[in-house]
């Protein structure tokens, strides 16, 4: 009896340690990779995303500068960060980043972010949006 309680305890604790609630997300190793793969094709300073919105996502300084209307990252507060709100679908479905509408996908524009990518970006913002 006693040992089975112990085993259950370990079984619950191990996955929690694995995900490491306090693990620091790295901008250069984690966040920029996602942006490079899913966003930079249009937000590289020349593409349509940066043309229309002014948002360039090629490096930390540009990401923190935001669009021509202002910042899209609020350090420590993902829920107030436009970039997070858009990729997690919390704003108007008309603003769909990266574009995942059938029309966009049909012509090879955009591809859907994985939930894990969205979580990485959320965590990075909530940990202070560091340039690490």
Interaction site with ligand HEC (CB under 6 A) = 38-39, 41-43, 48-49, 52-53, 55, 67, 69, 72, 82-83, 86-87, 95, 97-99, 109-110, 113
Nearer to ligand HEC, 23 or 51 (CB): 51
Nearer to ligand HEC, 12 or 107 (CB): 107
| DSSP-assigned letters across all residues of 81-130 | -HHHHHHTT-S-TTS-SS--SHHHHHTT---PPPHHHHHHHHHHHHTT--
Residue matched to tokens 């790295």:
26
4-19 burial, b at 16+ Cβ within 10 Å, e below that, comes to: eeeeeeeeeeeeeeee
CB of 23 to ligand HEC, least distance (A): 22
Nearer to ligand HEC, 26 or 100 (CB): 100
CB of 52 to ligand HEC, least distance (A): 4
């Amino acid at each position: 009896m006693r040992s089975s309680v112990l085993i259950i305890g370990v079984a619950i604790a191990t996955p929690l340690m694995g995900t490491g609630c306090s693990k620091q997300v790295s901008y250069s190793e984690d966040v920029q990779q996602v942006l490079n793969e899913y966003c930079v094709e249009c937000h590289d300073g020349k593409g349509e995303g940066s043309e229309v919105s002014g948002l360039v996502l090629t490096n930390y300084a540009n990401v923190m500068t935001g669009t021509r209307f202002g910042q899209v990252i609020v350090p420590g507060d993902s829920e107030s960060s436009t970039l997070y709100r858009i990729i997690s679908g919390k704003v108007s479905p008309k603003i769909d980043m990266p574009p995942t509408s059938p029309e966009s996908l049909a012509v090879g524009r955009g591809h859907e972010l994985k939930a894990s990518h969205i979580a990485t970006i959320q965590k990075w913002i909530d940990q202070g949006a560091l340039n690490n």
